[in-house]
């Protein structure tokens, strides 16, 4: 009798345990669904906010073109805005001039050949940044359409197909800076050093002398030292050079031709935080001569 009661108790307990398990599973699934729905909503809200920030940045750039013919770092678009807190979210935005950088796509001309002046300029930039200047030739090979390694510095398919995970050179213009990480000689340190000074704009853009940082200015001439470059950059930061006169005695004629004082390409970085979720959007913006601004490339990252 006692034995039977004992069995009944165990079975009873097992039934309770099973029922509890079912209930817990149901609640857990319900919570998971709620969380999924919530996280989907948060992601969509963040994207909408990031896109709203992009429209706002476009408006700032449009207004800027109406009010000025040059672009420099003292202007409204270049101000880093304080984070904007609103109901339950936070938006931070930063606009940067991508023409203040060395455009890697300028290494190869429309004829598909590496441009010697651009190659030399990129080598000087690399030296100024304390990076092995051989990367310039390697970069040229990465972009140029042929598969013949440049001499003395270069790397084509024969190098990349021999790596642990073999791949080929794209042999075309670059659209994203992250691509650099696949190039021979670009490790994390080189990538970090190089990132703020290079861009991947359409081939043929000029460098804005009003926004270029000292190492980029220094790369314009073999004879310019970092002190000259720093003083030019400091002067430009005040209210921008109205013309290129200050550069005429310092850089050679062919390098002068690659300079401008205004920009058409800007990059917006916008970071949206909702609760513990945050999303970063990078948007490459093109401003045409009429002041119309449109995004050319958007990339999203989230943590
Ligand atoms: Ca301007
Ligand atoms: Ca090539």
**Near ion ligand 1, which residues have CB within 5 Å?**
64, 68, 71, 75
pLDDT at 109 over 60: yes
> Which domains does the chain show, CATH number per domain?
2-98+264-302 (3.30.1300.30), 101-205 (1.10.40.60), 206-261 (no CATH)
Residue 205 Cα to ligand 1 midpoint, Å, equals 17
Whether omega before 63 lies within 30 degrees of 0, making that bond cis, reads: no
Instruction: Give the closest ligand to the alpha carbon of residue 239.
Output: 1
pLDDT at 141: 96
Which of the four pLDDT bands, split at 50, 70 and 90, describes residue 3? low
How many Cβ atoms from other residues are within 10 Å of residue 277's Cβ?
A: 16
> Cα of 143 to ligand 2 centre, how many Å?
5
Is 107 within 8 Å of 136 (Cβ atoms)? yes
pLDDT of residue 81: 73
* pLDDT single digits (tens) 113-165: 999 999 999 999 999 999 999 999 999 999 999 998 987 889 999 899 988 88
Q: Residues for the chain: how many in total?
A: 303
Closest CA to 98 of 199, 210, 181: 199
Which ligand ends up closest to the CA of 74? 1
Distance 242 CA to ligand 1 centre (A): 11
Q: For residue 274, report the distance from its CA to the centre of ligand 2, in Å.
A: 44
Ligand with the closest atom to the CA of 291: 1
Give the model confidence (pLDDT) of 164-222 as tens digits. 888 999 999 999 999 999 999 999 999 999 999 999 999 999 999 999 999 999 999 99
């Amino acid at each position: 009798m006692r034995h039977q009661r004992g069995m009944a108790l165990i079975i009873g307990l097992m039934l309770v345990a099973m029922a509890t398990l079912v209930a817990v599973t149901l609640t857990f699934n319900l919570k998971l669904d709620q969380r999924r729905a919530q996280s989907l909503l948060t992601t969509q809200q963040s994207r909408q906010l990031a896109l709203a920030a992009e429209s706002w940045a476009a408006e700032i750039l449009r207004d800027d073109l109406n009010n000025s013919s040059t672009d420099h770092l003292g202007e409204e678009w270049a101000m880093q805005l304080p984070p904007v807190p609103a109901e339950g979210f936070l938006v931070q935005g930063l606009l940067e001039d991508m023409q203040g950088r060395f455009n890697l796509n300028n290494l190869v001309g429309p004829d598909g050949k590496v441009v010697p002046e651009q190659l030399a300029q990129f080598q000087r930039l690399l030296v100024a940044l304390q990076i092995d200047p051989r990367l310039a030739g390697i970069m040229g090979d990465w972009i140029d359409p042929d598969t013949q390694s440049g001499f003395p510095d270069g790397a084509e398919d024969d190098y990349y197909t021999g790596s642990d995970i073999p791949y080929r050179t794209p042999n075309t213009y670059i659209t994203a800076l992250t691509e650099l990480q696949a190039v021979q000689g670009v490790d994390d340190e080189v990538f970090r050093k190089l990132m703020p000074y290079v861009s991947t704009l359409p081939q043929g853009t000029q460098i804005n002398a009003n926004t270029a940082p000292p190492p980029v200015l220094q790369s314009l001439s073999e004879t310019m030292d970092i002190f000259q470059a720093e003083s030019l950059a400091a002067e430009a930061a005040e209210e921008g050079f109205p013309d290129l006169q200050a550069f005429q005695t310092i850089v050679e004629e062919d390098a002068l031709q690659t300079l401008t004082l205004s920009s058409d390409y800007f990059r917006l970085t916008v970071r949206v935080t909702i609760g513990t979720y945050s999303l970063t959007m990078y948007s490459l913006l093109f401003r045409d001569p009429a002041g119309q601004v449109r995004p050319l490339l958007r990339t999203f990252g989230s943590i």
